[in-house]
């Protein structure tokens, strides 16, 4: 990853909130994206999108998620949101508006482990 940051000079920070930690059961309820340079200066911020989910999905939410999202207010925001999953896909339009190097980085990340622990392990202090 450090080689890719050196070539492109950009990092993509993607924050997703899910209903469950099990990838086969989880449903996306919030997504946000920030693009930074290699020194972590913000270049662009995408929208922070809270996605409305039917009560059936919320009723099947993992206990930890239900408790945490109720405490931090996200559960109410999910119920109040007017944005459905299809509309949330507009996040793609934000990504497409960024410079071409960003698209190149997405292609690079597609086949690699891009977990934050991997990124931090390879980053060196400025």
pLDDT value at 50 more than 90 = yes
Q: Which domains does the chain show, CATH number per domain?
A: 2-122 (3.30.420.10)
pLDDT digits (tens, 9 = 90+) for 88-119: 876 666 666 654 445 544 544 444 444 544 44
Mean local confidence (pLDDT), 5-22: 80
Specify the pLDDT at position 118: 47
* Positive/negative CA dihedral, 79, 33, 40, 121: positive
Confidence of residue 11 (pLDDT cuts 50, 70, 90): confident
Taking the CA atoms of residue 63, residue 66, residue 71 and residue 76 in that order, the dihedral angle to the nearest 10 degrees is -170
Confidence of residue 1 (pLDDT cuts 50, 70, 90): very low
pLDDT digits (tens, 9 = 90+) for 53-87: 999 999 999 999 999 999 999 999 999 999 998 88
Considering all CA atoms of the chain, what is the largest pairwise distance in Å, rounded to the nearest integer? Answer: 48
Helix (H) or strand (E) holding 41: none
Asked whether 44 and 63 are in contact (CB, 8 A), the reply is no
Specify the pLDDT at position 80: 97
């Amino acid at each position: 990853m450090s080689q890719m940051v050196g070539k492109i000079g950009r990092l993509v920070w993607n924050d997703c909130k899910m209903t469950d930690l099990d990838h086969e059961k989880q449903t996306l309820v919030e997504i946000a994206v920030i693009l930074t340079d290699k020194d972590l200066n913000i270049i662009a911020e995408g929208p922070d999108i809270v996605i409305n989910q039917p009560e059936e999905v919320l009723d099947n939410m993992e206990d930890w998620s239900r408790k945490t999202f109720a405490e931090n207010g996200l559960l109410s925001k999910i119920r109040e949101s007017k944005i459905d999953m299809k509309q949330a896909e507009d996040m793609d339009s934000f990504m497409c508006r960024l410079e071409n190097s960003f698209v190149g980085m997405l292609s690079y990340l597609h086949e690699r482990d891009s977990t934050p622990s991997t990124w931090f392990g390879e980053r060196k202090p400025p």
